Structure 1
Amino acid sequence: MRAFLFLVFAVLLFNCSNKHEKYTKVPDYISNARGTDKLYFEAYDTTLQQWHVSFKELYIPTTYGIAHVIVSGPEDGEPLVLLHGMNASSTMWYPNIEALTKSHRVYAIDFILEPGKSYLYNDIASVDNVIDWYQEVLFVLDLDRFHVIGASRGGWLAVHLTLRNQKKIESLILLSPAQTFTWIKPSTDLLKNIVSLVSSKEKRIAQSLESMSSNVSNINAAYLEQYYIATEKDSVNKFMSSMKPFSNDELKSLQMPVLVLIGDDDMINEKRTIEIANMLPQGKGEVIENAGHFLSIDQAEVVNTKMLEFLE
């Protein structure tokens, strides 16, 4: 009898650890990529070498296309979902992934409407469709309860996702969320970005990075190369005009613990963001010194510590 029970346990354990194996096959759009796509995927893989933790890549079929998910961390760790910033892809988490995977099973999802390894083949007509897509991915991943971290536009999407899944999300961390608590106010950096639109692509990228990061030289060279190539690819930024701050009622309906971090030199947010965050039922907002919009890179060690303390 004991041997039988051990066999049953072994079979269940094997099935659990291999339930996603059928999604590991690399699709043709990556294995047979050409031109800019090929260069981009190669740059993406080079950045992934900076993670310094073991991982596997999943390619999950959905109604709208293939969802690329990078899975890291202990299998018995609490699930943690990462939603990256605009045109950043999941590789943007390279300074944070080692810390986050110490006690969490981390699922980093490439947004299907931006450069990354996800692949769109059916039109997404609304933000609701975007959340439907995320929910399909989470269903396949079999995540009943999980934490969420969203950066920039990923933070805005994370709030949308949370409002639709209040009972599933344990906690929410927002890193300089865009257009989530307040409108983006006019600033010198914003004006420079607007003026740079008439400049060459190289100058536009340089100006954008300088306005988003407090220390561009601190950004990993491999990631910068991937970012540069991404600008050559088309993003489907069809929902930019629909990005607007959530109402006070919507924000105050978030009953789980919420941590909001912004940089002290953040072009996207201001202190009002922190004031609103601190008024949430279980909200906490903080300003990270010597950091811009890319605070998870600018001050990775500080941000990692605060995220881990909050998650624990």
Structure 2
Amino acid sequence: MGTRISSFADDAARTRVLAAYDKAMAYWPEPRGERDVETGFGTTRVHTFNPDGGGIPVVLLHGQNAGPAEWAPHVAALGEGRPVFAVDRVGEPGRSTQTAPIVTQDAMAAWLEEVLAGLALERVHLVGHSYGGWVALNHAVRAPGRVVSVTAYDPPRALAPLKAGFVLGAVASFLGKPGERQRRWFAGLIGDTGAPADMADAGADFSLKALRGFRMRLLLPARMTDEELRAIAVPALLALGGASRVHDPRRAADRARRTIEGARVEVLPGAGHGIPVRWFNDLVPEFLQKAESAVVG
């Protein structure tokens, strides 16, 4: 079982990665709170903003090796009138601690359901990026009881296969010693999101240190079947970077429109795998408000 549990490479790697994690989290808007939720898969750290606010809470699910810090430019916009909870996924480099493997889609949904129950959140908006977008969609299919809406930006494999060039490029970039080649690869993958340069640099530094210093044992995001996608019965916003290196965005968009009834599907021209700040902060709160109005109505 131990080989299926993620871990830091060694104590020195833990120190380096967590120092970078804390530096990136320093950009999270104040007041920021923290809570630990015990689950059958380990202790899950959750970062909060406006936790006692009214409205339906937003639960943020970060991309792989990105950590909750990636939500720093978006939290204030989302937190106007509603609580925000950013989950630090077990099995990822961060302040959560994994104690049991997550090797199936059902297990991933079971973990997140325990987190939501531990936070006493009866209804939530799920918002995910990359791997976190896949987790959000997976949850809307397998444990929809608490889900009011689901938003996913560039979720890998859920809607379309990974590009061969993405996989080969990632492997090639990380062969050999850490250096500028890895940073160029990462910058090309994310693209220009419009985030402040110092904030973006701190996030990139954490991600690159995590890629080198953490042994990931989470399951790969699985392709979702047409039947699974058709089962998503809540308001859904699917957004894809028009210049994404991860998958074919138009193929993914076409499949989302064909299978998820009523979904709002957007391909953002020129955007990469990273979330464009202005687009997200303008449109996602509006989408959440409309979903809430439908629930109240």
* Shorter-chain TM band: 0.7 to 0.9
Deviation (angstroms), 1:190 = 4.7
Contact residue 183 and residue 244 of structure 1 kept, 8 A: no
Which consecutive unaligned segments of at least 5 residues does structure 2 have?
A: 1-9, 290-297
Partner of 2:213: helix, strand, or coil? coil
Q: Work out the number of aligned pairs and report it.
A: 274
- String of CA shifts for 1:268-288, please: whole Å, max 9, x gaps: 232021122223212011112
Q: What is the distance in 2 between the residues matched to 1:198 and 1:37?
A: 21
Contact residue 58 and residue 82 of structure 2 kept, 8 A: yes
| Residue matched to 2:130 | 152
Deviation (angstroms), 1:136 = 1.0
Does residue 203 of structure 2 align to residue 226 of structure 1?
no
Partner of 1:174: helix, strand, or coil? strand
Q: What is the distance in 2 between the residues matched to 1:124 and 1:252?
A: 25
Sequence identity of aligned pairs in percent? 26
Structure 1 stretches (4+) deviating beyond 4 angstroms?
A: 216-219
Does residue 291 of structure 2 align to residue 311 of structure 1?
no
Contact residue 190 and residue 267 of structure 1 kept, 8 A: no
| Residue matched to 2:110 | 132
Partner of 1:220: helix, strand, or coil? helix
The one-letter code sitting in structure 1 at the alignment partner of 2:191 is S
Does residue 233 of structure 2 align to residue 255 of structure 1?
yes
Deviation (angstroms), 1:126 = 3.0
| Residue matched to 2:4 | none
Contact residue 243 and residue 270 of structure 2 kept, 8 A: yes
Does residue 214 of structure 2 align to residue 237 of structure 1?
no
TM-score by length of 2: 0.84
Q: CA RMSD in A?
A: 2.2
Contact residue 47 and residue 223 of structure 1 kept, 8 A: yes
The one-letter code sitting in structure 1 at the alignment partner of 2:255 is I
Q: What is the distance in 2 between the residues matched to 1:222 and 1:239?
A: 27
- String of CA shifts for 1:254-303, please: whole Å, max 9, x gaps: 11111011111101232021122223212011112331001x2xx20112
Which consecutive unaligned segments of at least 5 residues does structure 1 have?
A: 1-32
Contact residue 171 and residue 256 of structure 1 kept, 8 A: yes
| Residue matched to 2:87 | 109
Does residue 272 of structure 2 align to residue 292 of structure 1?
yes
Contact residue 174 and residue 182 of structure 2 kept, 8 A: no
Q: What is the distance in 2 between the residues matched to 1:98 and 1:199?
A: 39
Q: What is the distance in 2 between the residues matched to 1:70 and 1:197?
A: 30
Q: Is the deviation greater in 153-162 or in 46-55?
A: 46-55
Partner of 1:232: helix, strand, or coil? helix
Q: What is the distance in 2 between the residues matched to 1:207 and 1:237?
A: 26
- String of CA shifts for 1:48-77, please: whole Å, max 9, x gaps: 221223121111222221100011125123
Q: Specify which of 190, 194, 207 is matched with residue 213 of structure 1.
A: 190
The one-letter code sitting in structure 1 at the alignment partner of 2:213 is K
Q: What is the distance in 1 between the residues matched to 2:59 and 2:151?
A: 10
After superposition, the Cα gap between the structure-2 partners of 1:103 and 1:289, relative to the gap in structure 1 and judged at 3 Å, is farther
Deviation (angstroms), 1:224 = 2.5
Contact residue 38 and residue 118 of structure 2 kept, 8 A: no
Q: Specify which of 175, 179, 191 is matched with residue 198 of structure 1.
A: 175
Q: What is the distance in 2 between the residues matched to 1:184 and 1:47?
A: 28
Q: What is the distance in 1 between the residues matched to 2:182 and 2:217?
A: 17
- String of CA shifts for 1:29-56, please: whole Å, max 9, x gaps: xxxx963323333322222221223121
The one-letter code sitting in structure 2 at the alignment partner of 1:42 is A
Partner of 2:34: helix, strand, or coil? strand
Q: What is the distance in 1 between the residues matched to 2:171 and 2:188?
A: 11
| Residue matched to 1:275 | 254
Q: What is the distance in 1 between the residues matched to 2:103 and 2:251?
A: 32
| Residue matched to 1:73 | 50
TM-score by length of 1: 0.80
Contact residue 193 and residue 207 of structure 1 kept, 8 A: no
Q: What is the distance in 1 between the residues matched to 2:65 and 2:102?
A: 17
Deviation (angstroms), 1:135 = 1.1
